[in-house]
Amino acid sequence: MKFCISGNGAMAHAHLKAIREIEGSAVTVIQSRTQEGADKAAAEFAVPTALTDFERAVNRTDVDAVIITGPTQIHAAQAELAMRAGKHVLIEIPMCDSVADAESIVRTQKETGVTAMAGHVRRFNPSHQYLNRKFRAGEIRLQQMQAHTHFFRRTNMNALGQARSWVDHLLWHHACHTVDLFSYQTGEQVSEAFALQGPYDPDLGIAMDMGVIMKTPSGAICVLSLSFNDEGPIGSPYRYICDKGTWVSFYDDLTDGFGKKVDLAGVAKSMNGFENQDREFIAAIEGRRQPNCSVADALATMKLLGKLEDQLIAQSGRPK
């Protein structure tokens, strides 16, 4: 499997590291906004071709699939171009930032028949997989999920400390992880949801603090706190409060409610969620099946985010 990776930021690096661990797969092209950025990533990861033109990159004969990691605002256009070129696509979270674009991506996938996957990596972290198996087996039942997605990001920088050409968003990007994961772990669609946000940053033009609460038909609830104002380590811990025990997940690691580490050996092929996700993408392509978290599967999450955005806009009085 030969990949083009679009982008050269933190998520691009995560996929570059993951794919080099997967036998029979390689990144043959890196495409980025600037030649300097593409060249730098290509040199670091020994990728033979570095380009700036996305259409030229995806139409190469040495590209079977494309992983899109660049600015959220161009995900939909890039995904549709790649799919219509006959390439399979994995779109980093969020797959777009509007319901209309999400629906368009799903339509294009159905028209072209290629494999298209949304990058909800939480489904593939061994910690969350461990609990998902217990939920599916009926061993435990989720009563409440508490999630903190906190960063200190008052300037327009990415997770590598590099200047961004676009502005990130707490709702469409960071809340997206938890909205999807909550539904995935409960096996239910969210039936009730409410969001609140703090003041808008005058320079970035986005809310820097946000809270979301959700409920499923069975009564499980999720409380999500999001902030770009938290001075401390970057992190997204999840506390699972269940009828038979409590667990705390932190990316690929898991402890019980008292901090005792849970042995996750054998839960997944890798202890790296990105590698597990990329393996699923490849397996779905090779098996000619829908991947776990196809773009169609992710559409419900996008629609819920759209409803939450409408709530926040109504509260703020700002135009959409």
157-207 pLDDT, tens digit per residue, is: 666 666 766 668 899 999 999 999 999 999 999 999 999 999 998 888 889
Give the pLDDT of residue 235: 79
Give the pLDDT of residue 80: 98
Instruction: Answer yes or no: do 255 and 145 share one domain.
Output: yes
Instruction: Answer yes or no: do 101 and 163 share one domain.
Output: no
Instruction: Answer yes or no: do 111 and 191 share one domain.
Output: no
CA 139 to CA 243: how far, in whole Å? 10
21: buried, middle or exposed (CB in 10 Å: 19+, 13-18, 0-12)?
middle
User: Residue 152: which pLDDT band, with cuts at 50, 70 and 90?
Assistant: confident
Give the pLDDT of residue 233: 77
306: buried, middle or exposed (CB in 10 Å: 19+, 13-18, 0-12)?
middle
Instruction: Answer yes or no: do 108 and 212 share one domain.
Output: no
What percent of the chain is modeled with pLDDT above 90?
87
Is the pLDDT at 271 greater than 90? The verdict is: yes
Split into its structural domains, the chain has a count of 2
CA 197 to CA 49: how far, in whole Å? 43
CATH number for the domain spanning 22: value is 3.40.50.720
Instruction: Answer yes or no: do 144 and 163 share one domain.
Output: yes
CB 63 within 8 A of CB 4: yes
CB 16 within 8 A of CB 77: no
* Residue 14 located in a structural domain: yes
Is the pLDDT at 28 greater than 80? The verdict is: yes
Q: What is the mean pLDDT of residues 132-138?
A: 98
* Residue 298 located in a structural domain: no
* Residue 135 located in a structural domain: yes
Range of the domain at 24: 2-120+274-281
* Residue 38 located in a structural domain: yes
Specify the higher pLDDT residue, 266 or 316: 266
Instruction: Answer yes or no: do 213 and 179 share one domain.
Output: yes
Work out the mean pLDDT of the chain and round it to a whole number. 94
198: buried, middle or exposed (CB in 10 Å: 19+, 13-18, 0-12)?
middle
Instruction: Answer yes or no: do 172 and 35 share one domain.
Output: no
Query: What tokens does 9 get?
Result: 């930021």
Instruction: Answer yes or no: do 69 and 182 share one domain.
Output: no
- Coil/strand/helix, residue 29: strand
* Residue 296 located in a structural domain: no
Instruction: Answer yes or no: do 128 and 264 share one domain.
Output: yes
Instruction: Answer yes or no: do 160 and 215 share one domain.
Output: yes
Residue 254 belongs to what H/E stretch? strand 253-256
CA 282 to CA 207: how far, in whole Å? 37
CA 192 to CA 171: how far, in whole Å? 16
Instruction: Answer yes or no: do 260 and 168 share one domain.
Output: yes
* Residue 293 located in a structural domain: no
* Residue 99 located in a structural domain: yes
Instruction: Answer yes or no: do 265 and 193 share one domain.
Output: yes
Residue 108 forms beta bridges with which residues?
A: none
Residue 142 belongs to what H/E stretch? strand 142-150
* Residue 291 located in a structural domain: no
Is the pLDDT at 319 greater than 70? The verdict is: no
Q: What is the mean pLDDT of residues 112-140?
A: 98
CATH number for the domain spanning 135: value is 3.30.360.10
